[in-house]
Amino acid sequence: MEDAAKAAIEAVLKVGAKFADVRIENSTTTIIELSDGVTKRSLASRLKGAGIRAFIDGAWAFGQATDMTPKGMRETGESVARLALATRSRVAKRFEIDGPSFQDKVRLKVKKPVQDITFEDKIAFAKMIDDQARDFDGRVHNTRTVYGDLWTELYIANSLGTSVHLENTLPTIVSITTAKDGANRQRGYKLVSTRGGFEELEMERPQHIGEESAKLAVDLLSSIVAKGGTYDVVLDPVLNGVMIHEAFGHASEADNWPAHTTILEDKVGKMVGPEHLNLTDDPTLPGMRGSFEYDWEGTKTRKRTLVKDGFLTELLHSLETSVLLDMESNGAARAQSFMYPPLPRMSNTFMEPGDWNADELISDTNEGLLLCGFNYGYTDPSKGQFMFQANYGYLIENGELTKIVRDVSMAGQILGVLAKIDAIGKDFSLESGTCEKSGQAVPEMAGGPHARIREIPVGGG
């Protein structure tokens, strides 16, 4: 692998580009999907190839190669470098890529490597979860269970001298249950995804995830649609994570600065929220789906304090943005696979806990909503606008939880909503997710404590 990368880097530089990097990936995945007890999808795949970048004077070019012989890598390297040279005259600003270089070999320590688990055992596990959901209640109408694992071996090298070998494994179990009562149909969705071996799925929660999603689907049969309006809302840790991810995380990705596409552009070092607000992105947490030791440019990663006491202190950087903004690199550049160039992305993103008991937060909120779980969310950092949707929630009436509600959407302005966070809980948890940006999906986690937002528009029927 080192030889193949070296051949490509030398070829890029020889053509005249000033910086080159290479990612060589060899990944395998297994996906087992069952529905109503039978196999709907048994999938095995191998992703094998190299992504090569060339840079000169502010112009980037990217190409991919699946022929990883030194000859194949040289040819792709040359063609990528020529592409960079062809566009260099049209760039906005000339600069150079510089930064620290790293040499390392990281193996992920696991007890039961997913590659050693037979297809039979993976199917048996998925079948157990699917049966569990179906057997939960007579109103369960359809069950769907997805087992997935991704094992990745990645080698990253660049012309600054970086040479890093990485390994990663992400096992996942998802349970989706549809419950039916007359014409009323509701869906419960639960997933656990972690970093490690198959043993991670032998823990308490993943072993009972079928019941968890079935219970939610059945509970939702008695749910009502919340009436649209402006509410005081308490977010559970899952939804708080989604809000932080959508309402703030994306806007703090530093590639927005050279592009002038974030409403945080003039806010670095300034106050962006109340002083009890602390937001962190930390890829160094052990066993988390969003964790990694080095990013996809081979930069050693570390914890980032995005917001400290209400002030925007740090951004998420790639090699390029740390040069352009003259800030320290922090290893946030990630790619979905060798087929894509890395971009600044979040890892495990969360709100730091405060000093409220979660129960007190609810009793202190006279009329409002407790919202839980998430369906999805998205944002446009250039407008500063975001929306996210809770999976379910409860009305808060006279400080008590009453009726269950479903599919509640919230919309807001990034800076506006942070100012409305008036109380933050002591509890803490993270939920796994997948984040999409520029057509690339990467694994991440998000969370925090329970937190309250005053007067936010909530959509309903």
- Which DSSP letter does residue 66 get? S
Provide φ and ψ at 405, rounded to 5°: -120, 165
Q: Rule CB under 8 A: which of 283-312 touch other proteins? A: none
> Distances in Å between the alpha carbon of 457 and those of 111, 243, 420?
47, 14, 12
* Distance separating alpha carbons of residues 83 and 77, to the nearest angstrom: 10
Identity of the residue, 127 or 300, whose beta carbon is nearer to other proteins in the bound complex: 127
Q: Which lies closer to other proteins via its Cβ, residue 275 or residue 378?
A: 378
Return the range that interacts with other proteins (CB under 8 A); candidates 97-105, 190-198, 292-300, 372-380.
Answer: 372-380
Q: Which is nearer to other proteins, 308 or 420 (CB)?
A: 420
CB of residue 426 to other proteins, shortest distance in Å = 29
SS3 16: coil
Task: Identify whether the C-beta of residue 276 lies closer than 8 Å to the C-beta of residue 424.
Answer: yes
d(CA 172, CA 60): 35
Question: In 3D, which of 271, 317, 278 has the Cα closest to residue 415?
Answer: 271
Residues 226-245 that bind other proteins (CB under 8 A): 228-230
In angstroms, the CA 90 to CA 366 distance is 59
Residue 78 CB, nearest approach to other proteins (Å): 12
Buried b (16+ CB within 10 A) or exposed e, 174-211: bbbbbbeeeeeebbbbbbbbbbbbbebbeeeebbbbbb
Q: Are 56 and 69 in contact (CB under 8 A)?
A: no
- Binding of residue 460 to other proteins (CB under 8 A): yes
Per CB under 8 A, 43 contacts other proteins: yes
Give, as ranges, the residues between 263 and 282 that touch other proteins (CB under 8 A): 263
Torsions phi, psi for 399 (to 5 deg): 75, 10
Q: Which of 86, 128, 203, 441 binds other proteins (CB under 8 A)?
A: 86
Select from 9, 17, 73, 84 the one that contacts other proteins (CB under 8 A).
84
Shorter beta-carbon distance to other proteins: residue 38 or 287: 38
Q: How far apart are CA 378 and CA 435, in angstroms?
A: 10
Q: CB of 356: closest distance to other proteins in angstroms?
A: 24
3-state secondary structure (DSSP) of residue 419: helix
Of 2, 3, 16, 41, the residue at the interface with other proteins (CB under 8 A) is 41
When the beta carbons of 78 and 282 are compared against other proteins, the nearer one is 78
Report the residue number, 171 or 354, with the smaller CB distance to other proteins: 171
Name the minimum Å distance from CB 171 to other proteins.
17
Q: Looking at residues 420 to 439 of the shown chain, list those that interact with other proteins (rule: CB under 8 A).
A: none
Which residue reads 């404590």 in tokens?
A: 449
Q: Choose, by CB under 8 A, the member of 4, 59, 307, 418 that binds other proteins.
A: 59
Q: In the window 328-347, what residues touch other proteins (CB under 8 A)?
A: 339, 341
Give the tokens for residue 77: 């390297």
The count of chain residues that interact with other proteins, using the rule CB under 8 A, is 82
Cβ of residue 114: shortest distance to other proteins, in angstroms? 14
Within residues 387-416, the interface with other proteins by CB under 8 A covers 387, 389, 406-409, 411-413, 416
Residue 67: phi, psi to the nearest 5? Answer: -90, 100
Tokens (6 digits) for 215: 């219970």
Closer residue to other proteins, CB minimum distance, 270 or 383: 383
Within 10 A of 172 (CB to CB), how many other CB atoms are there?
Answer: 21
Task: Report how far Cα 20 is from the mean position of its chain's Cα atoms.
Answer: 27
User: Which structure tokens are listed for 327?
Assistant: 């800030």
Min dist CB 63 to other proteins, Å, is 5
- Based on CB atoms, which residue is closest to other proteins, 91 or 203? 91
Q: Which of residues 90-109 bind other proteins (CB under 8 A)?
A: 90-93
CA distances from 158 to 51, 106, 140, 340 (A): 12, 17, 53, 16
Helix (H) or strand (E) holding 457: strand 451-459
| Contact between 40 and other proteins per CB under 8 A | yes
Residues 110-139 that bind other proteins (CB under 8 A): 118-120, 123, 127
Among 383, 397, 400, 403, binds other proteins (CB under 8 A): 383
Between 113 and 459, CB nearer to other proteins: 459
Q: Is residue 35 a contact residue for other proteins (CB under 8 A)?
A: yes
Q: Closest distance between other proteins and the C-beta of residue 79, in Å?
A: 7
* Interface with other proteins, residue 61, by CB under 8 A: yes
Region from 180-188, 237-245, 274-282, 445-453 binding other proteins, contact rule CB under 8 A: 180-188
Among residues 16, 45, 203, 302, which is the contact residue for other proteins, using CB under 8 A? 45
> Which range, of 58-66, 95-103, 105-113, 155-163, touches other proteins by CB under 8 A?
58-66
